[in-house]
Structure 1
Amino acid sequence: MSRWDSTPVIRFFGGRKLLYLLGVVLLVGLNILVFSSVGFIFNPLLIFIKTIALPLILSVVVYYLLRPIINLLEAWRIKRIWGILITLLALVGIITLLVVLIIPFLEKQLISLSEELPRYLRDMIKGTDEWLRNSIFSVYYTNLFQDVDGMLNQIPDYISSYASETVEGITSIISTVTSVVVAIVTLPFILFYLLKDGYRLPAFVIRLFPPKFRPEISSVFKGIDHQLSAYIQGQIIVSFCIGVMMYIGFLIIGLDYALLLAAIASVTSVVPYLGPIIAITPALIISIVTSPFMVVKLVIVWTIVQLLEGKFISPQIMGKSLHIHPVTIIFVLLTAGHLFGVIGIILAIPGYAILKVIVSHMYFWFQRRYNRFVEEEDQYKME
């Protein structure tokens, strides 16, 4: 036995091949160093990726939502091209119906809420201030906050101090709106070709690899496809159920802006754990200003919806397809949000699921390659 095979750890990592592995790691590090030094060369490529990222992501999401319908129509002996056209026309009709009937009402509620929200915040702060001044915590509270009204009066000064950033903010908004418009315009074309030829893409990529690797690469694509399909389809259904339940609950307790608040809860529910906290904030502010009893009713509705979603809806619809621990989800969301902002938070979980599939398959291949070593270790432990 050579010196490279003298320990179980070295033998597990391939003996002499460990040098090759370390060389690959060193090469990757050198590539990163070179890229950081001449990164400006790749700026056009990065701009291109940022331009196509949003329409491509939206197209993939809609693709996984519509693919089961296209496959069902194809099973009914309707040609795929006609099934795609029928489905897209139906989708356009549904979107038009929503825009005509629901969006104007939501827009009115959003404008009204944006006008009333400062008053809600002011009333909530003053009410909390009065309660704390007359409570057993009044001594500590007075020392910490001398004058809440003075703090409120300083808000215009803060707004004025940031007035110089208005132009930059407007530029950012215009850039975002432009990206959204480009995404909406290009979405139908990308989606059409994804639905028409998307199933051929994995086979095309697999053919780029040597024949002996193709079965393993095929299993990776199948795993990624299963994870994305389960997550996107399941999350959309769960979000819709949460929105409906919230709307019914808000109507029952008589909370203002019920439809708008339910829509916010439905949209933010795509972010696990953090989404419900974000969604309940405006509803909580409105309920606190309305009456203490409204706060109690809101908490009851929110608790019932969360219990129904966590115990019945999500397990039945999404099951355990992702197999991600809640603590891992929180860390992934926080890291992705810090690195990539809101887009990172939305794409964190499916991105982590894809990465998990790739890493798990690579580890399985690595372990199978050195299966002899694993069997020897198991036999040694049994003895």
Structure 2
Amino acid sequence: MKSKFQFWTFQILMIVLIIFICTKMSFLFTPIVVFISTIFLPIIVAGFLYFLFSPVVGFLQKIKIPKVLAILLLYIVFIGIITLIVNLVGPLLVSQITELINSIPKNIDKIQSYMNHLSHTKWFKWTINQDYVPLDKAKDWAMNASPGSSNTVTNSLQNIFGMVTNVALTIVTVPFILFYMLKDGNRLPKATMRFFPASYREEGLTIMEEMNKTLAVYIQGQMLVALFVAVVTSIGYFIIGLKYALLLGVLVGITNIIPYLGPFIGVTPAVIIGLLDSPFKAVLVIVVVVIVQQLDGHLISPLVIGKRLDTHPLTIIVLLLVAGKLAGPIGMILAIPTYAVAKTVILHLARLIKLQRRYKKLNHEPIE
């Protein structure tokens, strides 16, 4: 026991020392971080599309179409579908976005009028007297965060420029990355296993197959569910007469990719828009979203995704909170599939270790 304790203590101290030294050598790791951050988004998008399109390419190969030709046909069909959707839905979506932007001053006036009315209520005066947030600090925060401040304008311009650059880089590079993923992706597992001992290769291939199945089921299922939620929610918003129904419905569908928390994030703008019309309209928005989420939770998601991930809801919520704090919305989207992959790898490695120990016991070999 004493020797094991000393061994692990030494290992932990060495790891901490290595991490400390690495923090003092940022000039070596900064180029690596920049490189990874540059290619991260294109690879993530290409990987996402790979799991969507790979079954289609496999089907085309089964009907005797060469792989390269199948990928090119898939590209042509996909571009055609996107063009059709943009022509059908794009004008309405653009008009609603333009109308929403033009109505911002009017909506701000409504919110200010509502806040002025609220400031004269007894409840508001009682809250202010509790001094939960000092008024001086609130004023300073408002001044610093105001759109007119130089820091805010500079940061906003930098963020917009960076976002446009990343989007342009992603659009240009993703088709090429995706092409080679679809063309040579089936060779990756066997090529990766060459770096592992022969005794681990079979189990390694099993792990990679399980990882591919888990990610494929999750990504394909989430896309179908998000499409269902976006379409049905938009129809519901149209029925109740909510402004910008298509735009707000698409927003709910996109945020629905984030489990549990996504619907609350997506419905917030719709509730605000409805509240600016009337309190009853905001209630109708909540009713529509609740009905859609009930259909999704009890009918669509169990049929499409099932319980493939086998993860407790509390675990998912904790993962989303931590990932959102560390990496924002992208972290919340990637948290669950990353956890599912890590869980698959750990379970298979644990099974492999148990099998090896059992084999050594049966053959009376020393266990490391």
User: Could you tell me the TM-score, scaled by structure 1's length?
Assistant: 0.84
- Any stretches of 5+ residues in structure 2 without a counterpart? 132-137, 363-368
CA 1:307–1:331: 2 relative to 1, 3 Å: same
Check conservation: 1:73, 1:83, Cα contact below 8 A. Answer: yes
Among residues 59, 71, 91, which one is paired with 2:58 in the alignment? 71
Which residue in the other structure is 1:259 paired with? 246
Which residue in the other structure is 1:140 paired with? 126
Superposition pairs of residues 59-208 of structure 1, within 5 angstroms: 59-124=46-111, 126-127=113-114, 130=117, 133=120, 137=123, 140=126, 143=129, 159=146, 162-208=149-195
Question: Secondary structure in 2 aligned to 1:289?
Answer: helix
Check conservation: 1:124, 1:288, Cα contact below 8 A. Answer: no
Tell me the alpha carbon deviations over residues 265-313 of structure 1, each in whole angstroms, 9 at most, x when there is no partner. Answer: 1111111122111111111011112123222322221111010011111
Check conservation: 2:147, 2:153, Cα contact below 8 A. Answer: no
In 2: Cα distance, 1:84 partner to 1:270 partner:
27
Which residue in the other structure is 1:379 paired with? none
Verify: 1:52 aligned to 2:39, yes or no.
yes
Verify: 1:342 aligned to 2:360, yes or no.
no
Which moves more between the two structures, 166-175 or 269-278?
166-175
RMSD over aligned CA atoms reads 3.0
CA 1:234–1:115: 2 relative to 1, 3 Å: same
Question: Secondary structure in 2 aligned to 1:102?
Answer: helix
CA 1:142–1:177: 2 relative to 1, 3 Å: closer
Tell me the alpha carbon deviations over residues 293-348 of structure 1, each in whole angstroms, 9 at most, x when there is no partner. Answer: 22232222111101001111111101011111111111111111221222212211
Among residues 17, 28, 43, which one is paired with 1:41 in the alignment? 28
Check conservation: 1:133, 1:142, Cα contact below 8 A. Answer: no
Verify: 1:314 aligned to 2:301, yes or no.
yes
Tell me the alpha carbon deviations over residues 169-217 of structure 1, each in whole angstroms, 9 at most, x when there is no partner. Answer: 2122112211110110011111111111111111100111111111121
Tell me the alpha carbon deviations over residues 232-262 of structure 1, each in whole angstroms, 9 at most, x when there is no partner. Answer: 1000000000001101111111111110001
- Any stretches of 5+ residues in structure 1 without a counterpart? 5-9, 11-15, 146-150, 376-383
In 2: Cα distance, 1:359 partner to 1:374 partner:
23
CA 1:239–1:86: 2 relative to 1, 3 Å: same
Tell me the alpha carbon deviations over residues 76-127 of structure 1, each in whole angstroms, 9 at most, x when there is no partner. Answer: 1111111111111101111222333322321221122123245335424634
In 2: Cα distance, 1:372 partner to 1:199 partner:
32
CA 1:337–1:138: 2 relative to 1, 3 Å: closer
Question: Secondary structure in 1 aligned to 2:50?
Answer: helix
Verify: 1:275 aligned to 2:279, yes or no.
no
In 2: Cα distance, 1:275 partner to 1:190 partner:
29
User: Could you tell me the TM-score, scaled by structure 2's length?
Assistant: 0.87
Check conservation: 2:119, 2:125, Cα contact below 8 A. Answer: no
CA 1:305–1:41: 2 relative to 1, 3 Å: same
Amino acid aligned to 1:274: L
In 2: Cα distance, 1:124 partner to 1:345 partner:
30
Question: Secondary structure in 2 aligned to 1:286?
Answer: helix
Amino acid aligned to 1:317: V
Check conservation: 2:267, 2:286, Cα contact below 8 A. Answer: no
Question: Secondary structure in 1 aligned to 2:291?
Answer: helix
CA 1:241–1:374: 2 relative to 1, 3 Å: farther
Verify: 1:298 aligned to 2:285, yes or no.
yes
In 1: Cα distance, 2:144 partner to 2:357 partner:
67
Q: Which has the higher contact order (CA 8 A, sep 6+)?
A: 1
Verify: 1:352 aligned to 2:339, yes or no.
yes
Check conservation: 1:132, 1:141, Cα contact below 8 A. Answer: no
Check conservation: 1:133, 1:141, Cα contact below 8 A. Answer: no
In 1: Cα distance, 2:294 partner to 2:344 partner:
30
In 1: Cα distance, 2:7 partner to 2:207 partner:
25
